[in-house]
Amino acid sequence: MTDGMMAIAILLPVVAGFLILAIRNYFARGVVVVITAIVLIANSILFAAKGPLTYTPPEGFEWGTLISVLDYAILVLYLLLGFKLRNRLVLIFAATQIIPIVYFEFVMKAHMDLRPAFVVDHLAIVMTLIISIIGSLICIYAIRYMRDHEEHAHVDKSRQSRFLFWLVLFLGAMNGLVFANNLFWLYFFWEVTTLCSFMLISHDKTQIALENAARALWMNSTGGTAFILAIIYLYVTQGGASALSVQNIIGGGMHSAAMVLPVALLCFTGCTKAAQMPFQSWLLGAMVAPTPVSALLHSSTMVKAGVYLVLRLAPAYAGTLVSTAVAVVGAFTFFGASALAISQTTGKRVLAYSTIANLGLIIACAGINTPLSIAAAILLIIFHAISKGMLFLCAGAIEHQIWSREIEDMEGLAAKAPLVTLITAVGMLSMFLPPFGMVLGKWIALEAAYKVPLAAIFFVLASALTIVFWTKWLGRLLQVVPKLGWPLEKLSPSYSFPLWTLFIGIFVVGFGIGPIYHYFIASATSDVIPGISMIGSGWANVVLAGSSAVQTGAAVRGSFPVWVLYLVLGIALFLPMLFFGLKSTQLRQVYLCGEQTGGTDTDEWCAEADIKTKFILGGYYFQGTLGEKALNPWVNTVAILLLAIMIVCGVISK
Amino acid sequence: MNQFIIVIATIVLAPIAGGLLFGIDRRITARLQGRFGPPILQPFYDLFKLLGKDSIAVSNMQFVWIYAYLILMIASLLCLILQLDFLVLVFLLGFAGVALVLGAFSTKSPYSHFGANRELLQILAYEPVLLLLAIAIYAQNGTFLISEIVSHQQPLLLSLWPLFIAVLYVLTIKMRKSPFDISTSHHAHQEIVKGITIEYSGPFLALYELAEWYEIVLVLGIIVLFWANPLWIGLLIAFAAFLLELVVDNIAARMTARWMVRLSWSVGLTLGILNIAYLYIMKGVF
Amino acid sequence: MGLIKKSRVKSPWIMHFDNSSCNGCDIEVLACLTPLYDVERFGIVNMGNPKHADVLLITGPVNMRTARVLKNLYEQVPNPKMVIAVGTCASSGGVFHNCYNVLGGVDKVIPVDVYVPGCAARPEAIIDGVVMALQGLTGQRHLWATCPHCKTEHEVTDQRWRI
C-alpha cells in the first residue's frame, strides 16, 4: 500500500510526463493531464487519511545509485548549459557542486544509504496536499493557456508537450523533496526542481528568457553548493550516513552544538530557493515565463521548498543565534520586497515581489521559533499557496483578455471582464485584509513576533507597505466610466475550473480554519517543534493561549473571531451587491470641471481650441524613491550583510 | 444578551456623540477664526439634508464600497467597545480605509484618483504607528486584549507616553486636520476639489458622513485606552487631545503628502521603536 | 416642517461657478464667507463641486463655451436644487449682452430661481438671495416676504425680487 502511494506521488508524474511528451494531440494530452491530476489529488488525500508513515524503497533495485547517477547527469547538463549559454557563473557554480560531490563519493568513499529514506509526517502531508491539489489545478489551467499562448505568439512548431512534461515532472520532484529523509536524496530532488525551473523559464527561447533562466540557474546553484558543503560537513563531523538523516538532525540525536554551521548553510540554501534578498532578481526575471510557470513554481510550490527546508530544520537551530539571524533575514526581506513592490508597473512583478515578501515572513516565523510562530508559518504557507497561485492564474487570464501585463493597461477591466475581475479582486483582498487566512497568519505572526523585536518592527513596516500596492492595483482594475450593464465574458473551462476552485478554496479553508488547525496544523506544528501548541480550541474563534512565562497572568494572548468577521465581510461587501442596482436615470458624469463632451460614459473632454481629447489617469509609482535603481543597492547590501551574519552565527554557536 | 445590548447601544449612540463632536469642532474653529460659526447640531442638519437628496451615482461599485466603509468602521468600533483583540481592531480599521480608497478608485475621475492615492499615503503614514502601539500594548500587558487594558490598574500612558505622542499624529491624520488634511477636507479646499468624496452625493455622502462620526469616536476611544482606569480621566485626555487638534488645525497650513509620510515615519516610528525597546529591556519577553 | 425640509433650510451647501465675469461678483461672494459676513452660521458651506451642492451661485454672462460647461455642472447637481444668478451680467448679460460671444444671462442655459442684480452685487444682497432660495428648497413656490417699503407681508408672485 505504502509502496503504491509513494510510487504514485513521486514516480507517476514522471511516467505521465513522458507520456505527455509523446502525445501530439491537444485533447488526448489534456485528458492525460486531468487523469494524472485526479490520481495525484486522491493519493494526497489518502496520505492525509493514513497519517504519518516512514518508507524505504525495496532492496531489489539500487535506488541510491540511480539517484547518484541522475545527480551527476544533471550537474553535467548544467556545465553544458554553461558552455552553450556562455555564462561563466553557471559554469562556476556547477563546478563548485560537481567537484565536492566527486570528492565525497569517490575519494571519501561515502555511503549514503540510510533507513528510512522517506519520512512522511504531518508537515509533509500538508505540503503534499498543497503540491498535489494546487499543482494539479495549475496543470489543468496550463492545458488551454499554452494553446492560446502559442496562437498569440504565432509559434509554428508546437512545444506544448514539452512544457506540460516539465510541469508535471516537477510535481513528482516536489513530492520527493518533502518526503525525503536522506539529505542527499533531498539534494537530488532539489536539483531536479532547479532543472525544471530552468527549462520552464527558458521555454519561449527568447534572448531574455534564456538570460533569466541562466540567472535562476546560477543563483539556485549557489544554494546547491551550500547544500553539498553542509552534507559533507555533517558526514565528516558526525561520522556516517546517519548524519544525513533529517530526522536525526532535528531530533538532536547528535551533539547539537556542532551541527549549527551546516544547518546555517542549509538555511542559506533555503533562502536562495525562496529568492530572499539579495537573490530576489532570479524570481523577478522568472516572470517572463508563461503564467502557469509563475503560478506553480514561483509562488505556490517550488519557492515553498525553500521555506519548507528552513521550517523543517527549525528545531535544529532553535535557541541559537542562528535562529535570531534567520528571523531578521526573513523580516528584512519582507520589508524590502514590500517597499519595492510599490514601484512596479507590471502586474506579475508586483506579484513576484509580494511572493518574496511573504516568503520572507514565513522564514522569519521559522526563525522566531516558538510553537505559535511555527503554526503561523504553516498557516501562511497554505494560504499563500492558494491565494498567490490563484492571483497568478488571474494575471494569466487578464493577460489573455487584454494581451498586456502592465497595470496601467488593466484600467476598466471590471467592465470588460467582470468575472475575472471579481476573482482577482477577491484574491487580492485575501492577501492583506481580514478575515482572510493570510491576515490570520500575519496576525498570529505579529502576536508571536515580540520574541525578536527587530523582526516585529520590520513586520509592522511591511504590513503598512503591502496595503499601498495591493489597493493601488485593485483600484486600477475597478476604474470604470459611468455606464451600466457589464456583460459577462466567456472563459474556457480550462481557465475557469481552476480559478473558481481556488476561489471557493480560499473561503472554505479560511472559514474552516478551526477544524483545519485541529486536524492538520496542530500536529504539523508539534512535528516541527515538540511542545504544547499554543492556539486554543474553538471552531469560530482562533484564540491564542498566553505564554506560560507571562508575568501579568493573562491567560489569553489574543483572539480572532473568524466566523463573525466573515459575517461582517458578507454584510459589508456581498449583501449590497444583491440589493443595490442603479437605474440609468441615476447615472451622472464624473466631475471634470464640466469640460466633458457627450453622454455619461464618455471619457473625452474639450481641450484647447475645443479639440476632443481622452483623459488618461495614471497611478503613483514613486520610482524615484522606491524604484529598483534607488533601493536595490541599499537592500542588497544590507541583505548580504545579514546573510553573512547568519553564517557567522553558525560558526560561533559552538 | 448583555453584549447584544451593548452593540445596539453603540450603533445608535456613537454617531450622535460623533455628530456632536463635529458640531463642537466647527463651532470652536469658527470662534478661533473670529466668526460665530454654525449651531452645534449643524452636522445633523447636514446629514438629514443629504438623506433627502436624489440618489445619483457614477458607478455601480460606489455604493458597495462606501457602505462597506461604514459597516467596517462600525465593526472596528464594536471591536473596541466589546474589548476584543487590539490587533484585529487595527486590521479592520485598515480594511475600512481600503474600502474608502477603492470606492474613490472605482470611477474614472481625476480628482477622485488624486484623493485616493493621497489617502493611501495617509494610511501608509499612520498604519505603522497603530501596529507599533499594538505591539507595545502586548509588551506592557502580555496580551493584545483590550479587556486587559481596561481592567489593569496601571494606566498605559505612564509607560507608553512616547507612543501617545505618535498617536496624536494619527489623530490629526484621521480627523483630516491641517497639516495632514491631504486627501479631502471639511473645508472647501479647491486644490483637489474634495478628493476622495467628490463623486459621492446625497444618500451616499450621508453614509460617508456617518462613517466619519463613527471614526472619530473610535480614534478618540483609542486615546481613552491610554488611561482606561478610571475612565473619566481617559475621556478628559481624549477631549483635550481633540481640542489640541482644533488648535493645530487653525495654526498649521496643509503640507505635502510626502512630508506627512516622512514626518510620521521618522518621528512616529522613532518614538514607537524607542518605547518598545525600553519595554523590552525593562520587562523582558513573554 | 418635516425634519428633512427643516434640514434643507438649515444646511444649504453652495457651489459657486463663474461664467466669464470680471470677478467683481466673485469677490463679493467670497466676502460672504469671510468672518465679517460669516454665512457659515447659517450652515452655508462652499463646496467646490456640483455633486455636493444644493444651491448654485452663478456669476458672469454666459458665452458659448461656458454654456456647455454650465449645463454639464447643472446636470451633476442632485435635486432639490436652486439656481441663483448673482450680478447683472448673470441675470441678463449686463453691459456685455451685445458681444459676439455672449449668449446672455444664465437663464438662457439653465432655469434660474433667484436673480440678485447689482454690479457688483452686495454681500447682503447675495445672502438675502440665498435665503430666498431656501424657501424654494422646501418646496414652497409662493414666497411670503416683508416688503422693505411698506413693512407689511406680501405674497411675491414675481420671483424677481429686486433689492
Cell for A190? 532539489
Say what the pLDDT of residue C99 is. Answer: 92
Q: What is the residue-averaged pLDDT of chain A? A: 87
- Coil/strand/helix, residue A473: helix
**What's the gap in Å between the CA of A167 and the closest CA on chain C?**
54
| Confidence at residue A174, expressed as pLDDT on a 0 to 100 scale | 93
Of chain A, the percentage scoring pLDDT greater than 70 comes to: 95
- Answer yes or no: is the ipTM higher than 0.95: no
* Interatomic CA distance for residues A127 and A134, integer angstroms: 11
The confidence score (pLDDT) of residue A244 equals 80
- A477 pLDDT exceeds 70? yes
Q: What is the predicted pLDDT for the residue at B189?
A: 65
Tell me, rounded to whole angstroms, the distance of Cα C115 from its chain centroid: 7
Collect all residues of chain B within an 8 Å Cβ-Cβ radius of residue C13. Answer: 46
SS3 A547: coil
| Whether the Cβ atoms of residue A562 and residue A536 lie closer than 8 Å to each other | no
Written as nine digits, the cell of B189 is 479646499
pLDDT at A551: 46
Better pLDDT: B276 or A536? B276
- Name the burial class of residue B133, with classes exposed (0-12), middle (13-18) and buried (19+) by CB atoms within 10 angstroms of its CB: buried
All 3 cell numbers of residue A450?
A: 515580540
The answer to whether the beta carbons of residues A271 and A310 sit under 8 Å apart is yes
C76/A610 touch (CB, cutoff 8 Å), yes or no: no
Indicate if the pLDDT at residue A508 is higher than 60.
yes
Q: Is A605 left (phi over 0), alpha (psi -120 to 50) or beta?
A: beta
Total domain count, chain B? 1
| Dist. CA A570–CA A314, nearest whole Å | 38
Asked whether the beta carbons of residue A558 and residue B87 sit closer than 8 angstroms, the reply is yes
Higher local confidence (pLDDT), B193 or A165: A165
Written as nine digits, the cell of A616 is 488618461
What mean pLDDT comes out for the span B76-103? 94
For residue B47 the three cell numbers come to 446629514
Q: Does C101 touch chain A (CB under 8 A)?
A: no
The average pLDDT across B64-83 equals 94
Q: What's the gap in Å between the CA of C84 and the closest CA on chain B?
A: 19
CATH of the domain at C36: 3.40.50.12280
The answer to whether B11 touches A571, Cβ cutoff 8 Å, is no
User: Distance (Å) from the C-alpha of residue A577 to the closest C-alpha of chain B?
Assistant: 7
Q: CB of B120 within 8 Å of any CB in chain A?
A: yes
- Give the helix ranges, DSSP H, for A449-492: 453-478
Q: What is the pLDDT of residue C147?
A: 58
Is residue A559 over pLDDT 50? yes
pTM: 0.92
Residues of chain B contacting residue A590, judged by C-beta atoms under 8 Å apart:
58, 107-109, 112, 199
DSSP strand pairing (A612-614 vs A541-545): unpaired
Mean pLDDT of the B169-183 span:
88
Residue A550 has what pLDDT? 43
Gap between the Cα atoms of A570 and A574, Å rounded: 5
Cell of B163: 507612543
Nearest to B45 among C11, C40, C41 (CB): C11
Q: What was the pLDDT predicted at A157?
A: 78
Q: What is the mean pLDDT of residues B36-53?
A: 93
DSSP label at residue B85: B
Q: Within a 10 A sphere around the Cβ of C83, how many other Cβ atoms?
A: 24
Q: Quote the number of domains for chain C.
A: 1
Task: Please give the Cα distance from A279 to A194 (Å, whole number).
Answer: 14
CB–CB contact C68 A588 (8 Å): no
Which range (A183-187, A438-442, C155-159) has the least confidence?
Answer: C155-159
> Residue-wise over A388-401: b if at least 16 C-beta within 10 A, else e?
bbbbbbbbbbbbbb
Res B154 pLDDT > 90: no
The pLDDT of residue A345 is: 92
C146 interfacial to chain A (CB closer than 8 Å): no
With beta carbons under 8 A apart, name residues in chain B contacting A605: none
Restricting to B residues 121-180, those with a Cβ less than 8 Å away from any Cβ of A are 121, 123-124, 127-128, 131-132, 134-135, 138-139, 141-145, 148, 152
Q: Are A323 and A367 in contact (CB under 8 A)?
A: yes
Write down which chains contact chain B via at least 3 CB pairs under 8 A. A, C
The residue ranking higher by pLDDT, B17 or A233, is B17
Q: How far is A511 from chain B (nearest CA, A)?
A: 16
Q: Which residues contact A425 (CB under 8 A, 6 or more apart)?
A: A474, A477, A478
Listed residue (A384, A237, A280) closest to A640, CA to CA: A280
Cell numbers given for A336: 524590502
- The pLDDT assigned to A592 comes to 87
Residue A423 clears pLDDT 90, i.e. is over it: yes
- Domain containing residue B200: 2-283
User: CA-CA distance, A490 to A470, in Å (whole number)?
Assistant: 26
- Reported as a single tens digit per residue, the pLDDT across B112-147 is 998 999 999 999 999 999 999 999 998 888 888 888
Separation of CA A447 from chain center = 23
Contact A377, A455 (CB under 8 A): no
* CB–CB contact C68 A593 (8 Å): no
Distances from the Cα of B149 to the Cαs of B84, B135, B242, in angstroms?
Answer: 11, 13, 22
Contact B37/C at CB under 8 A = yes
Query: Are the Cβ atoms of B142 and A547 closer than 8 angstroms?
Result: yes
Q: Please report, for residues A129, A570, B130, the alpha-carbon distance to residue A386 in angstroms, rounded to integers and kept in the order given.
A: 11, 21, 29
Position C162 scores a pLDDT of: 38
H/E element, A255: none
Please state the rounded mean pLDDT for residues A80-89. Answer: 89
Decide: A178 and A127 in contact? Cβ < 8 Å: yes
pLDDT tens per residue, range C102-148: 998 998 999 998 999 999 899 999 998 988 888 777 765 544 555 56
Lowest mean pLDDT among A250-254, A597-601, C22-26, C37-41: A250-254
Sign of CA dihedral A315, A318, A322, A323: positive
Asked whether B254 and B189 are in contact (CB, 8 A), the reply is yes
Instruction: Please report the pLDDT score of residue C1 as a whole number.
Output: 58
Q: Which domain holds residue C106?
A: 3-156
Q: Averaged over C11-21, what is the pLDDT?
A: 92
The verdict on a CB contact (< 8 Å) between B108 and A480 is yes
Residues A595, C69: C-beta atoms closer than 8 Å: yes
Beta strands in A17-80 (DSSP E): 53-55
First-to-last C-alpha distance (Å) of chain A: 44
Residue environment code for C60-72, b if the CB has 16+ CB neighbours within 10 A, otherwise e:
bbbbeebbbbbeb
Contacts of A595 in chain C (CB under 8 A): 69, 72
Q: Residue A570's closest chain B neighbor by CA?
A: B68
Phi, psi at A53, each rounded to 5°: -155, 165
Q: What per-residue confidence (pLDDT) applies to A654? A: 57
Q: Which residues of A touch B104 (CB under 8 A)?
A: 475
CA neighbor of A283 nearest in space, from A205, A197, A195, A352: A352
Alpha helix positions (H), chain B: 2-32, 42-51, 60-81, 86-105, 110-141, 146-151, 156-159, 161-174, 202-224, 231-251, 257-263, 269-283
In angstroms, what separates the C-alpha of A596 from chain C's closest C-alpha? 8
Residues A606-654: tens digit of each pLDDT: 888 888 888 888 888 988 888 888 899 999 999 999 999 999 988 887 5
Would you tell me which residues 40-69 of chain B have a C-beta closer than 8 angstroms to some C-beta of chain C?
A: 42, 44-49, 51-56
**pLDDT confidence of residue C163:** 33
Structural domain boundaries in chain A:
310-481+491-580+636-654
Q: Is residue B164 pLDDT above 90, yes or no?
A: yes
pLDDT, tens only, A88-111? 898 899 889 889 888 888 877 666
Q: Which three cell numbers stand for residue A65?
A: 545509485
- Over 90: is that where the pLDDT of B16 sits? yes
Q: Is residue C163 part of a domain?
A: no
Average pLDDT across chain B, whole number: 90
